[in-house]
Amino acid sequence: MLRFLLRSVLLGLLAAALVIVVVPSLRSKVIPTSTQQSQSENSPSPMSFNKAVRRAAPAVVNIYSRQYSEEDRSKLKTQGLGSGVIVSDKGYIITNYHVVASADQVIVALQDGRVASAQLIGQDRRTDIAVLQISMSDLPVIPLNPNYSAKVGDVVLAIGNPYNLGQTTTFGIISATGRSSISNDGRQAFIQTDAAINEGNSGGALVNSKGELVGINTASFQQATDLETYGISFAIPQKLVWKIMNKIIADGRVIRGYIGVDGQDISSMTNRLLAGNFNGGIIVLGVEPGGPADVGGIKPQDIIVKIGDMVADNRQNVMDAITDARPGSKVNIMIVRDGKQKQLTIKIGEDNRHLTHNQGAR
């Protein structure tokens, strides 16, 4: 019996070898060649942003804002949800103003399961930024790259807690930068992306393909029509976030300078004709009566060409320079009026519009 089985096995192997010899095309299917093995080993890996998500996601927290019940002031109920980003091992968290604006208590939930009550350090309605702080050790911190500048076409990931489903990552590209038309005063420049930002994503992180913070997710575009709109969302640039955060930590609120003028850019050709040999200029369209500029002698139709040592090359830079100036300080402003240069000294005032004071611990 054993002899019969051995003979059957040998005959089967012999038949298989004969078939492979007669039909060479079967060899590559049965025995991988060294070339095939090499191609398999060297084949590119599928594109993945797993590393970026693993770097950034632990620092993105869930935020639950709670209010006292009107029926029973001793009871708190959750009335909103959002996301936040840990930006410092000291426990500072950036989120949106609108996420915590009406909260009597703010609860922060980390991805490792820890939960803490947060202190509201301060908030700024104009930029829709709020700063919280929690007291915990071994906190994950979002990777920061101060040299990164958002560019159209950059791949970005939006990380947050949409609809309280738990942490979610969506993918897209930066489709525009410097979007100011959706801000309340037309001054804030947003990053536009097609990465989905839904309810609950507000305050979460927009990161690049390295997991570095690009901005804070703040809004999705909604039309006041029956048309549904997809792929248009906005984030606050990380450089502005960092500047506002430092001001809130230092003063409990954002202190802004202002001089009370309204102006617009003029073309380089117009500038050469009216203002002389300057790279840029801002034509003054209006002056606030009794404001710092009015008191200092600036008039409509003046062309601002320099602020201190900075050339007034565009309106945004001029506004930033004035906003960053400390109220009470003085600045030299060079203007051109009727073809003649004139230097004026303006005392910076404090911009109290949309001012939101620190509301203490919550």
Q: Are residues 97 and 129 in the same domain?
A: yes
Catalytic residue (choose from 128, 302, 313, 351): 128
Q: What is the predicted pLDDT for the residue at 85?
A: 97
Neighbouring residues of 252: CB distance < 8 A, sequence distance ≥ 6: 121, 122, 357, 358
**For this structure, is 98 an active site residue?**
yes
Rounded CA separation 145/160 (Å): 20
**For this structure, is 138 an active site residue?**
no
Q: What is the predicted pLDDT for the residue at 315?
A: 78
Q: Are residues 243 and 193 in the same domain?
A: yes
**For this structure, is 354 an active site residue?**
no
pLDDT at 23 over 70: no
First to last CA, the chain: 88
pLDDT at 89 over 90: yes
pLDDT digits (tens, 9 = 90+) for 247-274: 999 988 888 898 998 888 876 666 556 5
- Confirm whether 32 is domain-assigned: no
Catalytic residue (choose from 65, 83, 175, 202): 202
Q: What is the predicted pLDDT for the residue at 359?
A: 36
pLDDT at 356 over 50: no
Range of the domain at 232: 155-251
CATH number of the domain within which 179 lies:
2.40.10.10
Q: Are residues 283 and 231 in the same domain?
A: no
pTM of the model: 0.75
Total number of domains constituting the chain = 3
Catalytic residue (choose from 98, 124, 233, 313): 98
- Confirm whether 29 is domain-assigned: no
